[in-house]
């Protein structure tokens, strides 16, 4: 691969990569948030079950 060619195209590629990383990070954070919500729901459900058992 020609180095001068790649250097000429490196700028938009890095910008695209940064955008990709940003969206990926946002997706990960969203999934983590959903996991936390699901876990808290499960915890609340568990508390309800314990109350019902009593």
Q: What is the pTM of this model?
A: 0.53
3 state SS for the chain:
CCHHHHHHHHHHHHHHHHHHHHHHHHHHHHHHHHHHHHHHHHHHHHHHHHHHHC
In this prediction, residue 28 carries a pLDDT of 96
Which tens digits make up the pLDDT trace of 23-53? Answer: 999 999 999 999 999 999 999 998 887 777 7
């Amino acid at each position: 691969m020609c180095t001068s060619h790649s250097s000429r195209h490196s700028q938009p590629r890095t910008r695209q990569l940064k955008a990709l990383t940003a969206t990926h990070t946002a997706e990960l954070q969203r999934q983590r948030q959903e996991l936390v919500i699901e876990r808290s729901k499960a915890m609340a459900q568990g508390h309800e079950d314990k109350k019902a058992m009593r």
